[in-house]
Copies of this chain bind each other. A is one copy, B any other.
Amino acid sequence: MEEIISMSHGNGGKKTSRLIDNIILPSFNNRELNILGDGALLNVSGSIAFSTDSFVIYPYFFPGGDIGKLSVCGTVNDLLMCGSVPKYLSLSLIIEEGFKIEDLKKIIDSISKTAKRANIKIVTGDTKVVDRGHGHGIYVNTAGIGERIEGIDLGRHRIEKGDKVIVSGSVGNHGVSILCARENLLEGNIISDCAPLNEVVNAALDFGQAIKILRDPTRGGVATTLNEFVENSSFSIELFEDKIPVDLNVKTACDLLGLDPLYSANEGKVLIVASADEADNIVNVLRKNEFSKDAEIIGEVVDYMPSKVILKSSFGGRRILDKLSHDILPRIC
């Protein structure tokens, strides 16, 4: 087997078959994938959630993960946010000519491990090779299918005055980690939070109708996602600055680099809007899980002005947090 990817690995002929049979399939030992022709045949019951994401992150290996882990977590988390149980994943690779096969193996291995952890099956896929200079090592697309959980109704329409805003843990880690990895800053001591959120979301959904909406604050960060919750609505969200968990090293890096953790991407966090009467119970339950041990109530839904996210400082000052409008970070996801 060669050591790097060449154009003929993407021509659909013998070398493509060999790449798929020797490098990709062995990691995904499941019946559906091995018999695949152009697609997988699957059984699902009732209604489903369907989501997709392309991952173009660079560097593709970073502290706390890699593009493979990220591409599984990203789609798994999106399916969870819809109130569904993630079941099936497609995997499509766009590999740049010259990419090391050793790195491809590591990424495939990471995809396989993360999929197992997230209890989702990779059932269909595609591999393309692009000429050198027309990629950035590897781009990965995943699309996923989840089975909707009955009796769950999530969405902006359920947000009401008095509801609490919960975050499952410290914010900004992924974005700051990638920036530091890319620029060789801070020696890799900021770790991406990249993680599948199955247990965290399941724990939250046990509270049934008390959960109004779920969303993972990825690109654009917490500030942008919360803006999407209240956009064109009669409500605003007031955030309590001193309640927002930010890891000390993330805070230090942000201070140093002039960044704002509220606009930095997260890949293993969830924002929850929940009924006021259950909010404390939800936080207490979340804190029992390793991926949400720092859960906090960070804000509440108010109606004294429409469609804004307002940050209330510990001194009582208020400022409006807009959606991300310019690039505070180089592209990271």
> Contact residues of A with B, CB < 8 Å?
7-8, 10-17, 37-44, 46-56, 58, 77-79, 81-82, 84, 88, 90-94, 123-126, 128-131, 133-136, 139, 141, 143-146, 148, 155, 215-216, 218-220, 224, 263, 265, 322-327, 329, 331, 333
Contacts and interface: CB of A to CB of B under 8 A. Distances in A.
Given A11-B331, A12-B324, 9 more contacts: A12-B224, A13-B219, A13-B263, A41-B82, A44-B48, A51-B124, A92-B141, A92-B143, A143-B143
Main secondary structure of the interface of A (DSSP, over half): mixed
A47 B55 CA distance: 29
A56 to B, nearest CB: 5
A141 B52 contact: yes
A328 to B, nearest CB: 8
23 contacts: A7-B331, A11-B220, A13-B219, A13-B323, A37-B82, A39-B81, A39-B82, A39-B84, A40-B51, A41-B47, A41-B84, A42-B48, A44-B47, A50-B90, A52-B91, A52-B124, A54-B141, A56-B128, A56-B130, A58-B134, A133-B133, A134-B134, A141-B143
